[in-house]
Amino acid sequence: MKPLRIGVDIGGTFTDLCVLDDTGVVAVGKVLTTHTEPASAVEAVLTETLRAADLAAEEVTQLVHGTTLVTNALIERKGSATALLATAGFSDVLEMRREHRYELYDLDLELPEPLVPRHLRFDVPERILADGTVAEPLDEDFVARLGAELAERGITAVAICFLHAFTNPAHERRAAEVLARVAPGLRVALSADVVPEIREFERASTTVANVYVQDLAERYLRDLERRVHRGGVRPAPHIMLSHGGIATVDTAARYPIRILESGPAGGALAASAFGAAAGETELLAFDMGGTTAKLCVISGGAPLVTHEFEVDRVYRLLPGSGLPVKIPVTDMIEIGVGGGSIARIDPLGLLTVGPDSAGSEPGPVCYGRGGTEPTVTDADLVLGYLDPGYFLGGAMKLDLEAAREVIARRIAAPLGVELERAAYGIHASVNEDMANAARVHATERGKDPARLPLFTFGGAGPAHGAGVARALGAREVVAPPAAGVMSAVGFLTAPLAFDFVRSSRASLRELPWERVDALFAEMEGEGAALLEKSGVDAGGITHTRIAEMRYAGQGHEVRVPVPAAAGARWPDSLVDAFTGAYRERYRRPGPAVGVEVLNWRVVSSGPAPEVTLRLRADRADGDARKGARPAYFEGRFVDTAVYDRYRLRPGDRIDGPAIVEERESTVVVPPGARCAVRADASLVVTW
């Protein structure tokens, strides 16, 4: 038997699994997500998929997992009872936030409630100055009394965020020691460990969020370990991080905020890997699942990464309306439209779709699980894009008549239009929403979305890919094999990796290289120790050095890779790299002022795994065309050829209109388009 590697992704509607060996994808699985006990769905899909494919769990050498658990816990406020200890005078930073208003003229501006209520935010007598010197010693007796009282009152988690702890963490570390002595049951998170960098509000918000979900995340991850081992898989699972690396369960349990966007990161990695194999390093990755759609720019063969992210936004597309977390995360935009998104008529009599979703419980009406609201999946079924007898390869039958009835009653009748036009309105509406979001996201990053091939995946993505691409003006859509479980596939392309940061604001020309090199060396030492502890051979560890720079007086930074020979031409080489990155991002030169650095970063990585991204060689034989059915295009139903994706071969070509079906997703090829099968079994739709 060949060694097997498994990726598992928990989404809002389905839990997906992909199995790889050295020949490619050998099995995929998909089950409905169990929201009350997420690890149960992982165990179920693992057991069912291995059994159905006649694969032995003992042959599994790696299992990588991504989850939305942390995101959901923050949004639903299901974390621990948490207190915040802050420098005296700064305990209200979570409430005061920043000066920025995401809607300047809205007098009833809504903001998410802080994770720590005001009566649990405490002023601690202590003060460290910006240069790291102690202005006021820590009042240890105050911390001891407070810790004992918090434990007595049922508080289980404490975040400590003292002023300038990123420069001198001594007071935070001593306060943690005092709390461990007087209240050993408290979970304690230090800002100096979680996010040791400048900007007080974001640092406090991130530290609080980390400890708020830590107990929940650790219990889940340990349960996951037990269930995976019970299923016969011997290696401990690895956990996907939000920026595209993976970590051990122990590391993820210590820093659960780092797995906030672990699922979407896998999809972006898969897009990068497929693109690189085909020689396409500039892409727009489009992931549409059951609950949300995500879009990410792939540039230079890798997904863009940001350190500014918000969760629980009051308004999904408005920065500043959510809880900020400063972690490395794949730079993507997420909107509330997916296969389960609910369609309705708003008070103005207009059709609107999402952001609320039927999810997996009860799911779309056509699932027959108690859903009562029309959804995108119901509309796609009515339009003929989905086969009611082949959903999940026939494992789940869809109720076409129920979908027709609910759309006719809830959408068509109020609008006074025929059923098919109402269903197409739902389909086209979400396509436009996703195209608008993609246009904004790509343009803000200096990219023209019309020039980027759309790499589409997720259970619903390939059915909507051509519509989104046409709305963008793009002329190419790529639908990879196993598109419905692509995030799980992407997990298996990721190396063990972690990100480290130090804040040291200074004018670039005033910094001695020796000081910078010492900062980098310190972080690289931490990274090497962490990776070696996780089983990575020291000879396979690499370190990427990054500087976050800006023109003096600006409020935002640009991330710049530090050239390998920076020491020899310091600081000219870094100035050159910065000005080039600035011009690429903003399409113009910067002002004639000095350059300063705010943060220094190191990404420490193990070797990237070698993977073959194609369907297994023993695909089904026979005629790929399996029949035809009416599908709705350009205002009418058209007789449309239907193909079995597993019988298509590299080099095959299909003219639209056509529908290509596989177990987890369906590719729609509109009239006038052409579809070609690439060597890796990806379908490339052009027009």
pLDDT tens sequence across 632-646? 998 999 999 999 998
Strands (E) located in 208-282: 238-240, 246-248
What's phi and psi for 211, nearest 5 deg? -75, -25
At a CB cut-off of 8 Å and minimum separation 6, what does 437 contact? 293, 295, 317, 333, 335
Per-residue confidence band for 209, with pLDDT thresholds at 50, 70 and 90:
very high
Cβ density class 337-352: b for 16+ within 10 Å, e for less: bbbbbbbeeeeeeebb
106: number of Cβ within 10 Å = 10
Residue with tokens 């194999």: 277
Looking at the predicted structure, is the pLDDT value of residue 506 above 70? yes
What integer pLDDT is reported at residue 116 of this predicted model? Answer: 96
**Cα–Cα distance measured from residue 127 to residue 553, given in angstroms and rounded to the nearest whole number:** 27
**Cα–Cα distance measured from residue 485 to residue 458, given in angstroms and rounded to the nearest whole number:** 6
CB–CB of 206/195 below 8 Å? yes
Looking at the predicted structure, is the pLDDT value of residue 326 above 70? yes
Report in angstroms the alpha-carbon separations of 527 from 58, 501, 539, 587: 31, 11, 13, 35
Least reliable range by pLDDT among 31-35, 294-298, 517-521, 539-543: 31-35
**Cα–Cα distance measured from residue 189 to residue 157, given in angstroms and rounded to the nearest whole number:** 8
What integer pLDDT is reported at residue 588 of this predicted model? Answer: 85
Report in angstroms the alpha-carbon separations of 218 from 5, 391, 453: 24, 35, 39
373: number of Cβ within 10 Å = 18
Assign 593 to helix, strand or coil: coil
- Size of the chain in residues: 687
Mean pLDDT value of segment 180-204:
94
Looking at the predicted structure, is the pLDDT value of residue 656 above 80? yes
Burial of residue 434 (number of CB atoms within 10 Å: 0-12, 13-18, 19+): buried
373-419 per-position pLDDT tens digit? 999 999 999 999 999 998 877 878 999 999 999 999 999 999 999 99
What's phi and psi for 39, nearest 5 deg? -65, -20
Per-residue confidence band for 617, with pLDDT thresholds at 50, 70 and 90:
very low
DSSP secondary structure letters along 82-113: EEEEEETT-TTHHHH--S--SSTT-TT---PP
| Crossing angle of the two packed helices 200-230 and 69-76, in degrees rounded to 10 | 130
Of 471, 460, 428, 420, the residue nearest 630 (C-alpha)? 420
Looking at the predicted structure, is the pLDDT value of residue 615 above 70? no
**Cα–Cα distance measured from residue 257 to residue 289, given in angstroms and rounded to the nearest whole number:** 23
Q: How far apart are the two ends of the chain, measured CA to CA in Å?
A: 43
Identify any residues that bridge with 543 across adjacent strands, giving them in sequence order: 604
For 367, the token pair is: 């699932």
Least reliable range by pLDDT among 13-17, 246-250, 270-274, 364-368: 13-17
What integer pLDDT is reported at residue 81 of this predicted model? Answer: 95
Report in angstroms the alpha-carbon separations of 171 from 86, 89, 145, 243: 11, 16, 16, 30
For the four alpha carbons of 107, 112, 116 and 122, in that order, the dihedral sign comes to negative
CB–CB of 356/368 below 8 Å? no
**Cα–Cα distance measured from residue 586 to residue 66, given in angstroms and rounded to the nearest whole number:** 34
Identify any residues that bridge with 630 across adjacent strands, giving them in sequence order: 639
Least reliable range by pLDDT among 217-226, 241-250, 307-316: 307-316
Tell me if the bond preceding 125 is cis, omega within 30° of 0: no
The torsion region of residue 226 among left (phi > 0), alpha (psi -120 to 50) and beta comes to: alpha
Burial of residue 601 (number of CB atoms within 10 Å: 0-12, 13-18, 19+): buried
For the four alpha carbons of 680, 474, 664 and 28, in that order, the dihedral sign comes to positive
What integer pLDDT is reported at residue 581 of this predicted model? Answer: 87
Residue with tokens 């690439």: 678
Report in angstroms the alpha-carbon separations of 8 from 38, 392, 492: 12, 17, 10
Mean pLDDT value of segment 343-368:
86
pLDDT greater at residue 472 or residue 107: 472
Amino acid sitting at position 132: G
Looking at the predicted structure, is the pLDDT value of residue 461 above 80? yes
Mean pLDDT value of segment 179-208:
94
For 139, the token pair is: 């009042």
